Amino acid sequence: MVHGTIDRYFPVEHAHALYRAAMAGGSTQSEEWIIDGFAHAESAIALQTIDEIGQWAVKPCQVEHHQLRVDSL
């Protein structure tokens, strides 16, 4: 959940409630980010925030790479 402190449409408590509901529902990957000075669907989102959202989104997709040894027959 990414939410801004100056969102005119939804209060910050709305974000808190959604996050609590996700956690109560058994979510193990939910995170709550409250961004100071951020409005609703901010068009001027900071590049750092975009990068952090991207890193969070691909985190479940990361896998360990293992070398496999194939023996000759």
pLDDT for position 12: 96
Going 43 to 46 to 38 to 25, the CA torsion angle's sign is: positive
Q: Which two tokens stand for residue 34?
A: 């409250």
The torsion angles phi and psi of 69, rounded to 5 degrees, stand at -105, 125
Containing 4, the helix (H) or strand (E) segment is: strand 2-4
pLDDT for position 21: 96
The predicted-structure confidence for 45-71, as pLDDT tens digits, reads as follows: 788 888 888 888 887 776 665 566 666
CB contact at 8 A, 33 and 52: yes
